[in-house]
Amino acid sequence: MTQYIIRRILVAIPTLLLISVIIFGVLALAPGDPLAQFALNPAIPMETRARIRESFGLDKPWPVRYVRWITSMVKGDWGFSFATKSPVIDVVFQRVPQTLQVVGLAYLIAIFIAIPVGIISAVKQYSFFDQITTFLSFIGGALPSFFTGLSFMLIFAINLQWFPIVYSSTLDLTTSAGITQQLKQMVLPVMVLVVQQTAALTRFMRSSMLDNLPLDYVRTARAKGLSDWAVVIRHVVINSIIPVVTLIALGIPAIFAGAIITENLFRVNGLGQLLVTSIQNSDTPTVMALAFIFSILVVVFNLIADLLYGVLDPRVKYT
């Protein structure tokens, strides 16, 4: 396995370098000037604008800027945000807790709901429970997040007034009132994300279970006198959950990327909203850093998913 990991890492390095070139090249050649706001200010002379561009390295051709950028990224210097004038690494890490609180919590809740529901739905195929969960899964997966979010806001925030509409990141979490308000404002965005994630994972778990239930090893286990649920838990679930675990591992980078639509809809100050506002403000250093971080997470968790597959399935051999 060690040799396999080393080979994957050696493949990942040029892959990430190619991704970084594409990210930097697309953003460097994209229309729009990050310092265009200075051109609208007559109080800033041309010489000052030129010195600002030189200080940010914008006067150099993009291949030269790329080499400087990737070298600084490797050293941990992600540059300065054009919008906030702060180091990009500080801006990013300020948003991570908000994303983990909302998107990460929603992902965990979806996993704990989807796996048992998918198991029961497959074992009791075509039952009333299976038909209801299948119908709800199709609805949850088909509805876009902006529609679900607006519906929840209309019902629970405006009509019933149970939860706030806008997410606030300035609450005092050292008081009970602040903690209560934090929990209340997390409910709606978490519900929206749980609906989507649970629908997808439930369908996948049910399908995987149905693939394994008719196999020979299940009939053999039942022939040995094991009860139905013992066969399901000890044999079918173990084999069925392997592709689901892989799917869960591959979905983790989406947590750090943030639910872009949901975060912007509820004004959650997470990484998803940061990416959108940075694109709107032509904040190139922040956009490049976020895009490259997401790319690294995808490559890393692809490797983790492959390793988990081998750990859970002894038939998989790494050479």
DSSP symbols for the chain: -HHHHHHHHHHHHHHHHHHHHHHHHHHHHSS--TTHHHHT-TTS-HHHHHHHHHHTTTTS-HHHHHHHHHHHHHHT---B-TTT-SBHHHHHHHHHHHHIIIIIHHHHHHHHHHHHHHHHHHHTTTSHHHHHHHHHHHHHHHS-HHHHHHHHIIIIIIIS--S-SS--S---TTSHHHHHHHHHHHHHHHHHHHHHHHHHHHHHHHHHHHHHTTSHHHHHHHHTT--HHHHIIIIIHHHHHHHHHHHHHHHHHHHHH--HHHHHHTT--SHHHHHHHHHHTT-HHHHHHHHHHHHHHHHHHHHHHHHHHHHH-TT----
Average pLDDT score over residue span 219-224:
83
More confident residue, 10 or 109: 109
Confidence bin at 44 (pLDDT 50/70/90): low
Q: Work out the mean pLDDT of the chain and round it to a whole number.
A: 80
Name the superfamily (CATH) of residues 95-312: MetI-like (1.10.3720.10)
Is pLDDT above 90 for 244? no
Is pLDDT above 60 for 271? yes
Is pLDDT above 70 for 186? yes
Is pLDDT above 80 for 134? yes
**pTM beyond 0.85, yes or no:** no
Confidence bin at 112 (pLDDT 50/70/90): very high
Confidence bin at 39 (pLDDT 50/70/90): low
Among 111-115, 213-217, 221-225, name the most confident range.
Answer: 111-115
- Residue 117 pLDDT: 93
Domain limits, the chain: 2-75, 95-312
Confidence bin at 33 (pLDDT 50/70/90): low
